[in-house]
Amino acid sequence: MRIKFLSVLAFGIFCMGAVGVASAGSVSVLYMDGTIQATSGIANFSTYGDMMDGMKIVATFGDDTTETLFWGTTGANTGGVTGTGWSLSLNGNSFTTDWDLTTTGAIIKSFYMDAGLGDTVFDTVYSPEASPGSEMGEAFNFDSANSPWDITATYENIVSVGGIIYNDLYRNLNVEFTNSGYFAPFAGVTAAPVILSFSADTDNLAIPEDLTPVPEPVTMLLFGTGLVGMAGAARRRKEIKQ
């Protein structure tokens, strides 16, 4: 299994209302091939919040209990899930609009997104454009310079399009809060919810339910025949640019 790592550190001061919270935020992004997921094509590179119905979201709390919800449309171009003391929403296009994770009381340790169940995949590469039909993408990021959270975002289960791996699409995203306080209401701040806004581009499949795991012998063939060569070069260029 190939694992690639990108780390960006930032420092700043986060303020909410009249209460200031000193912070040293950071974001780290991991890429794990996992089990190859095959699809015949990408239809929409402009994916809105109301175009991912069925996507599974699993929140893990500070006491290691979990809550599983399934994404649904909440309005024109908007969608999301609402759990016990928390929510996740997207009000617009995932390439140009941030997702909002909100807590009104929940202490969140991590959240996991299975985009494939919503006929969606994550597009992590901005340039060069890779998988046919996907156009430019954007990997997980947030304003770490002005936030108190240390976050590790892991993309899992790489996606092949038409039998070729371009190294830009993934089925799953796992976001972990690695600071000791996790993602929770700030001490002394009770009047307003706490919101994490983050970027993570998505694309829609051309055919509904057209995302399936590749059997192991075929997986080995894909890697062994060099079909991922162009993808490796694209990923290296991406990492150099960053």
Amino acid 181: pLDDT: 86
Amino acid 221: pLDDT: 53
Amino acid 44: pLDDT: 79
How many Cα atoms sit within 13 Å of 20 on the Cβ side? 3
What is the per-residue burial (b if ≥16 Cβ within 10 Å, else e) of 81-120?
Answer: bebebbbbbbbbbbbebbbbbbbeebbbbbbbbbbbbbbb
Q: Pick the closest to residue 175 from 87, 59, 89 (CA basis).
A: 59
Pairing outcome for strands 56-61 and 72-75: unpaired
Amino acid 81: pLDDT: 98
Q: Pick the closest to residue 232 from 2, 77, 78 (CA basis).
A: 2
Amino acid 45: pLDDT: 84
Average pLDDT, the chain: 84
This prediction's pTM: 0.83
Amino acid 218: pLDDT: 53
pLDDT in tens, the chain (242 residues): 333 334 333 333 333 332 344 457 999 999 999 999 999 999 978 899 999 999 999 999 999 999 999 999 999 999 999 999 999 999 999 999 999 999 999 999 999 999 999 999 999 999 988 899 998 999 999 999 888 999 999 999 999 999 999 999 999 999 999 998 899 987 655 557 999 999 999 999 999 999 999 986 555 555 544 454 444 444 433 443 34
CA atoms of 186 and 181, how far apart (whole Å):
9
| DSSP codes of every residue in 106-157 | --EEEEEEEGGGGTEEEE---SS--STTT-S----EE-GGG---EEEEEEEE
Contact criterion met (CB below 8 Å) for 42 and 205: yes
CA atoms of 4 and 137, how far apart (whole Å):
17
Amino acid 75: pLDDT: 97
> DSSP class of residue 222?
H
